[in-house]
A and B are shown apart, each in its own frame.
Chain A
Amino acid sequence: MTPGVLILIVLAMTIVGFILGRRRAVAMANREKVKLHSLPGYYGQTVALFVAVPAYVLLAAWLFLQPIVIENHISDLIPASAIPEGGARSLVMADVRRIANGLDYVVGKGGVSEDELASMRADISNIRSRLADVGIALGSDVKPVVFQAAKTYRKIGKTGSLLRDIAVLAAALGFGLWALWRVNPRMRARNTSETFVKALLIASSSVAILTTLGILLSLLFESIHFFRIYPARDFFFSTVWNPQFRGGSDLGILPLLWGTFYVSFVALLLAVPIGLMIAIYLAEYSGSTLRSFAKPAIEILAGIPTIVYGLFALVTVGPFLRDWIAQPFGIGNSSSSVMTAGLVMGIMLIPFVSSLSDDIINAVPQAMRDGSYGLGATQSETIKRVILPAALPGIVGAVLLAASRAIGETMIVVMGAGAAARLNLNPFEAMTTVTVKIVSQLTGDTEFASPETLVAFALGLTLFVFTLGLNILALYIVRKYREQYE
């Protein structure tokens, strides 16, 4: 039985459980002539939940754990001698898995029967060519141990799946019958189902939180790993970024941070004033018709994938800046530059700033405006002296959120800013950012355990700390501002 079929069967059992539970509650209430504590549906729901939840949880756990257990077991079967020179055990294990899958496939197509397969031996029959026939390409001839391991892998896997099916169905049936047996009119089915719903919601939110935590921990562990083989002082304070394939690299973060902040600064310099003016116009001046067009139109900008902005930077803005500004004034020759990436990123951030600020300006009570107009203030005086001061904390929060987006942005800088790690003031020079280097360090050909690769995690962690700090600050400010009118 495949897991899919199993899921469907449990689902069917759940429905049956619901019907039986409901019916039993009603029948008992009629027989004993008492009033049901809850609506009949709740009894059905309780039974259904007891059928479904333990069975599905068990299934999920099994699907997750079985491969790990089998893998460990098989891995022990392969002697060190079967592992080729310079290769890794994991590579041999990958072969085992592929051969096992291939065998499944051959058997499934009826090319070989199970009995035939059991007596097949790698040293006699040509496994490699048979597998190649069904589209499984192997790098070398199959070693007998590996073939045996693959056969064992299949066998254990089969037994495991069978056990899984039995266990899951037993859980569904067992818990379901138990719940059905417990049904009686006085049972507080409504409260039981309430508890279940609450547990479900808590479980969902913990998925999100645990994932975040997991990401953070893996970042942290890899970073610690990195700092074991590369001095933290050099990483944080060196001004040279010069990774080498053969080791002995300089991995100073400062030029990258400088690039990140420079590009973000240019972006915010463009996005904040324009976004703010758009927000003020939309919130205070535009009529409702124009607003209903303009606001979604501007927000479409936010829906454009950043890779498209990157293209725009690469083919339009970059060459334009180079040909019309940088070269005529003799301040640069590169089409990738801080200016290119910054301007394009600024355009990307405009709707972000404008839509957040627009909401914040709209949240300033109409009474404030009335008060100001009633004293004979003009619209711009009202905006300048009443609305903006009242909305300022919220706007600062919006700008900080935009800044944290700018710092984390990758695609636009990859395509617009270049790859040269430089500490330079000239915005028409190519520079690079933390995010760009994370990409290039991980997509390189270097060994995974080398500092050149692991540095990506340390860079990621640094970036994470920065954006987290900015986000917390922004949320704090926004929340503080909210309290003002409550």
Chain B
Amino acid sequence: MNEMTETATEAAVNAAASNRSVKMRGDKVGVFYGEKQALFDVDLDIYEHEVTALIGPSGCGKSTFLRCLNRMNDTIDGCRVTGKLTLDSENIYDPKIDVVELRARVGMVFQKPNPFPKSIFENIAYGPRIHGLVKSKGDLDEVVAISLQKAGLFEEVKDRLNEPGTGLSGGQQQRLCIARAIAVSPEVILMDEPCSALDPIATAKVEELIDELRENYTIVIVTHSMQQAARVSQRTAMFHLGNLVEVDATDVIFTNPSDPKTQDYITGRYG
């Protein structure tokens, strides 16, 4: 109990330092896939209106941690999460929590663009429809248009909203998926290597978009590109073998990391 208040004060100090409040907090988060433990006691705070980057060598548990934040791990057979994770100081693994509502608040964009085999319009209308966010067709049109605009895709597709989303280019598809996530007005957006399937130009567009989205949303991004982490994020968390090695402001991590593993990783000595 005492320890809890201590971490809380420490976090509060940190928050004050960066002038932001904590949106999500992981407290001794552990994840098991069956018998195998993939994540060990991760304490990580996600600050509001910031981009937090998760970096680390392949298989270190970045995706696993990210998927805990909106309980996507629930869909995996035999996956078990221990510890505590909060969203606005509410424990999201509390049995009373409605997972469906949680996922509407914490949206997700995947590594491979995965538009539904439906029209562009239907792809974006999907979320608002199932959550009953719109009353009329007019509202829906508006939500779709605004989401596409926020994702920077509107100009490119406004004349072909009824064509299948799968017919877009890879980069456009990824922005469509971001627009789809935005359409349900989430508070947090999780992105798992959103640019790994994209070319440099499409990547630049998505990065620009992430930077803009920070105004209104809290973003957590997994990336293998150090430059990308440096360009888009304000905080960076380094994972290694299922442990959180260190987390700090991005410029600190990249200029003056306190752990030699981080130093090695960002200078490309392994991973």
Output the least CB separation between B147 and chain A (Å). Answer: 12
Given A385-B126, A385-B130, does the pair A375, B107 have CB atoms closer than 8 Å? yes
Given A288-B77, A385-B126, does the pair A373, B114 have CB atoms closer than 8 Å? no
Output the least CB separation between A14 and chain B (Å). Answer: 54
Interface residues of A in 370-424 (CB under 8 A from B): 370-378, 381, 385-386, 389-390
Chain A residues, Cβ within 8 Å of B224: none
Asked if residues B131 and A376 are in contact (CB atoms below 8 Å), the reply is yes
Chain A residues, Cβ within 8 Å of B118: 389
Interface-side segment among A188-196, A242-250, A361-369: A361-369
Chain A residues, Cβ within 8 Å of B77: 287-288
Q: For B101, B102, B108, which residue has the most chain A Cβ atoms within 10 angstroms?
A: B108
Asked if residues B181 and A373 are in contact (CB atoms below 8 Å), the reply is no
Asked if residues A375 and B75 are in contact (CB atoms below 8 Å), the reply is no
Chain B residues, Cβ within 8 Å of A372: 116, 126
Asked if residues A375 and B104 are in contact (CB atoms below 8 Å), the reply is yes
Which chain B residue lies CB-closest to A374? B108
Given A385-B130, A484-B117, does the pair A374, B100 have CB atoms closer than 8 Å? no
Which chain A residue lies CB-closest to B164? A484
B177 within 8 A of A: yes
Output the least CB separation between B144 and chain A (Å). Answer: 14
Asked if residues B184 and A375 are in contact (CB atoms below 8 Å), the reply is yes
Asked if residues A376 and B127 are in contact (CB atoms below 8 Å), the reply is yes
Chain B residues, Cβ within 8 Å of A370: 72, 75, 108, 110, 114
Q: A-facing mask of B161-205, CB < 8 A → 1, else 0?
A: 000000000000000010011001000000000000000000000
Identify B110's interface contact among A288, A374, A381, CB under 8 A: A374
Interface residues of A in 118-137 (CB under 8 A from B): none
Asked if residues A376 and B184 are in contact (CB atoms below 8 Å), the reply is yes
Q: For A373, A374, A377, A385, which residue has the most chain B Cβ atoms within 10 angstroms?
A: A374
Give the A interface residue count (CB, 8 A). Answer: 21
Asked if residues B110 and A375 are in contact (CB atoms below 8 Å), the reply is no
Q: With A and B bound together, what is the CA distance between A145 and B180 in angstroms?
A: 93
Asked if residues B184 and A389 are in contact (CB atoms below 8 Å), the reply is no
Chain A residues, Cβ within 8 Å of B126: 372, 375, 377, 385-386
Q: With A and B bound together, what is the CA distance between A370 and B107 in angstroms?
A: 11
B103 within 8 A of A: yes
Identify B117's interface contact among A287, A373, A390, CB under 8 A: A390
Asked if residues B114 and A375 are in contact (CB atoms below 8 Å), the reply is no
Q: With A and B bound together, what is the CA distance between A373 and B77 in angstroms?
A: 15
Chain B residues, Cβ within 8 Å of A287: 77
Given A376-B100, A377-B100, does the pair A371, B130 have CB atoms closer than 8 Å? no
B70 within 8 A of A: yes
Chain A residues, Cβ within 8 Å of B110: 367, 370-371, 374
Give the B interface residue count (CB, 8 A). Answer: 27
Asked if residues B127 and A375 are in contact (CB atoms below 8 Å), the reply is yes
Asked if residues A381 and B130 are in contact (CB atoms below 8 Å), the reply is yes
Q: With A and B bound together, what is the CA distance between A51 and B58 in angstroms?
A: 59
Given A367-B110, A385-B130, does the pair A373, B116 have CB atoms closer than 8 Å? no
Q: With A and B bound together, what is the CA distance between A287 and B118 in angstroms?
A: 29
Q: With A and B bound together, what is the CA distance between A381 and B132 in angstroms?
A: 13
Output the least CB separation between B166 and chain A (Å). Answer: 8
Chain A residues, Cβ within 8 Å of B108: 370, 374
B112 within 8 A of A: yes
Asked if residues A373 and B75 are in contact (CB atoms below 8 Å), the reply is yes
Asked if residues B72 and A373 are in contact (CB atoms below 8 Å), the reply is yes
Q: With A and B bound together, what is the CA distance between A288 and B76 in angstroms?
A: 11
Q: With A and B bound together, what is the CA distance between A68 and B31 in angstroms?
A: 78
Q: B-facing mask of A338-376, CB < 8 A → 1, else 0?
A: 000000000000000000000000000101111111111
Given A376-B130, A377-B130, A385-B126, does the pair A371, B114 have CB atoms closer than 8 Å? yes
Output the least CB separation between A485 and chain B (Å). Answer: 8
Given A376-B184, A377-B130, does the pair A371, B100 have CB atoms closer than 8 Å? no
Asked if residues A386 and B116 are in contact (CB atoms below 8 Å), the reply is yes
Q: With A and B bound together, what is the CA distance between A377 and B130 in angstroms?
A: 7
Q: For A367, A376, A381, which residue has the most chain B Cβ atoms within 10 angstroms?
A: A376
Asked if residues B70 and A374 are in contact (CB atoms below 8 Å), the reply is yes
Which chain B residue lies CB-closest to A381? B130
Output the least CB separation between A392 and chain B (Å). Answer: 10
Output the least CB separation between B67 and chain A (Å). Answer: 9
Chain B residues, Cβ within 8 Å of A367: 110, 112, 114
Given A288-B77, A385-B130, does the pair A374, B107 have CB atoms closer than 8 Å? yes
Which chain A residue lies CB-closest to B190? A374
Chain A residues, Cβ within 8 Å of B107: 374-376
Output the least CB separation between A280 and chain B (Å). Answer: 16
Chain A residues, Cβ within 8 Å of B117: 368, 389-390, 484
Asked if residues A375 and B112 are in contact (CB atoms below 8 Å), the reply is no
Chain B residues, Cβ within 8 Å of A288: 77
Output the least CB separation between A206 and chain B (Å). Answer: 40
Output the least CB separation between A385 and chain B (Å). Answer: 7
Output the least CB separation between B52 and chain A (Å). Answer: 18
Asked if residues B130 and A374 are in contact (CB atoms below 8 Å), the reply is no
Q: With A and B bound together, what is the CA distance between A371 and B165 in angstroms?
A: 13
Output the least CB separation between A79 and chain B (Å). Answer: 78
Chain A residues, Cβ within 8 Å of B70: 374
Q: With A and B bound together, what is the CA distance between A375 and B181 in angstroms?
A: 6
Chain A residues, Cβ within 8 Å of B181: 374-375
Chain A residues, Cβ within 8 Å of B131: 376
Chain B residues, Cβ within 8 Å of A373: 72, 75, 103
Q: With A and B bound together, what is the CA distance between A148 and B131 in angstroms?
A: 95
Q: With A and B bound together, what is the CA distance between A385 and B72 in angstroms?
A: 19
Chain A residues, Cβ within 8 Å of B116: 368, 371-372, 386, 390
Given A370-B72, A370-B75, A381-B130, does the pair A375, B101 have CB atoms closer than 8 Å? no
Given A370-B75, A381-B130, output 17 extra A-B contacts at Cβ < 8 Å. A368-B114, A370-B108, A374-B72, A374-B103, A374-B107, A374-B110, A375-B103, A375-B104, A375-B180, A375-B184, A376-B103, A376-B107, A376-B131, A377-B126, A377-B127, A386-B126, A390-B116
What are 10 of the A-B contact pairs (CB < 8 Å)? A368-B114, A370-B110, A371-B110, A372-B126, A375-B130, A376-B131, A377-B100, A377-B126, A378-B130, A385-B126
Nearest 5 CB-CB pairings of A with B: A376-B104, A374-B108, A367-B114, A376-B103, A375-B127
Interface residue ranges, B against A (CB under 8 Å): 70, 72, 75, 77, 100-104, 107-110, 112, 114-118, 126-127, 130-131, 177, 180-181, 184
